[in-house]
Amino acid sequence: MKNSITLLIFIAILIVQGGILNLINILGVTPNLLLSLVIIRIFLYNDRLTFALGIIFSIILDICFSKYIGVFPLSLLITILVVQFFRDNVDIENKWTMLTVAVIGNIVFSVVTFVAEYLLGFKINLFFWVKMQTVSLIYNSMIMFIIYLLLIKKVINYRNDRYLIWKKY
């Protein structure tokens, strides 16, 4: 995607995440669109623009809607590093691999966020947190899978073409 389109998508996600998305919740959980988009774009494209815009917009979301500033960007940064590690070592065309990376990315993000907020003094019941994160994990993974199916056709022109390897020689 071009840089201007990517920026417009991030701005739209900022607006939707902050306002409209609260109307669409399941058991009190809303999907994290910024996390979903960043994980999928890092997994497919591995570009610096997504990395930078993800961190910048996570800081903006923290300033506007969070009690603690810096927890979301820290959690997103660690999640991006984990996703980049998986991207370098797995096949990005496989849907099961993407689903696994989506689940692992969500778990890493949730655990880092929980630990950082707990260290900053935010007290929450662990059983309640696990219940909410289970719903959030399923919800975010479904959103990521839909985004992946929309973007994979733009990344790889000849998906699963067994003769593509011979074009390199």
Give the span between the Cα atoms of 14 and 3, in whole angstroms. Answer: 17
pLDDT digits (tens, 9 = 90+) for 55-99: 999 999 889 888 888 899 999 999 999 998 888 888 777 888 888
pLDDT digits (tens, 9 = 90+) for 141-154: 888 888 888 877 66
Domain boundaries, the chain: 3-158
48, 137, 128, 125: which is closest to 84 by C-alpha?
A: 48
Q: With cut-offs at 50, 70 and 90, classify the pLDDT of residue 106.
A: very high
Sole residue written with tokens 């009190």:
28
Please tell me what DSSP assigns to residue 162.
T
Residues 139 and 26 sit within 8 Å (Cβ to Cβ): yes
Give the span between the Cα atoms of 106 and 142, in whole angstroms. Answer: 11
